[in-house]
Structure 1
């Protein structure tokens, strides 16, 4: 039985790694930071797999992209560390972990608790993304960006879609969590 659980966990981690990669190519054009479905799949990884396995699946996605597979929204490779948008990928890993940890206990798992976890994950993703963007632009690649343009392009224009994805992920998690638990 324990072997079956390990195989199930590995398969689910691989599935969410693949879904996150596919989500990078489902794009809605927004200036500066492309809007993709990566956020949806990274939050679902945390919600459905738990903090540790969710972060493992998203971390594997980040590792594969840095290793050279073109699975990030704008390619892949070790040079991606210098892309201002790489901070969002770091935020995906941390956000998936925190979201998963907040919803691991099945008792009292209400829609409100799932949404609170999703919005916490959203804050982590945008916090990490915007800080990284600012630091890389202003101190590494010498393409300065001010705080207002950063806030406008990296938050205001991008966050409405991800807020909607928080609700989509909550509904999906509520329905899928019992199914995955009974696999």
Structure 2
């Protein structure tokens, strides 16, 4: 398989894995706990920054086109009006950063640091978007503390487990893909 075909296959594989991660879901208010962030980080670790980000862009575009690839088997352009859409948008940047920060230095510590940075970026993009949709589009009038409670604090334990798992898998598979 030539390089270009191999890259296309890997990008498609991680777009599919991220979609599968959406189906492994625990409903928890306006944003469910899913396994997507695990595959987002792994896409950057194993494909590098550019191809990792591309795999997440492909996932997002396919979902926006109407394929039911997002959590709760949803999809379509109307998804942009859901509180969780900011987290989906963040996947592109998070994957890029996980690949960027492990591109040259491939120690286990660098994978942990990259996972933490990627997770924080998902929150830095996802939480303001969630607050905007809930407070301005849906006119809920929620406080910042309440937004953090439903969109951040509840997810910390599962995100710590996912970032550790992503770091272990990324570190062990780094030279195999």
**Superposed pair shares fold, TM > 0.5:** yes
Name the SS of the counterpart of 2:174 in structure 1.
helix
Pairs within 5 Å for 1:162-177:
162-177=159-174
State the match for 1:35 in structure 2.
Answer: 33
Answer with 72-81 or 22-31: which moved more: 22-31
**Whole-Å separation in 1 of the counterparts to 2:154 and 2:91:** 19
1:73 equivalent among 71, 85, 102: 71
Q: Deviations over 1:39-77 (max 9, x none)?
A: 000110011101110000001000001000011003010
Q: CA deviation at 1:162?
A: 1.1
State the match for 2:99 in structure 1.
Answer: 100
Name the SS of the counterpart of 1:17 in structure 2.
helix
Pairs within 5 Å for 1:4-153:
4-74=2-72, 75-105=74-104, 108-153=105-150
Name the SS of the counterpart of 1:45 in structure 2.
helix
Name the SS of the counterpart of 2:2 in structure 1.
helix
Name the SS of the counterpart of 2:176 in structure 1.
helix
Answer with 78-87 or 139-148: which moved more: 139-148
Instruction: Name segments (4+ residues, structure 1) moved above 2 Å.
Output: 28-32
CA contact (8 A) 1:21 1:61 kept: yes
Q: Scaled by the length of structure 2, what TM-score is found?
A: 0.96
**Whole-Å separation in 2 of the counterparts to 1:25 and 1:68:** 16
Number of matched pairs: 176
In structure 1, runs of 5+ residues without a counterpart are: none
The alignment yields a C-alpha RMSD, in angstroms, of 1.1
Q: Scaled by the length of structure 1, what TM-score is found?
A: 0.93
Name the SS of the counterpart of 1:109 in structure 2.
coil
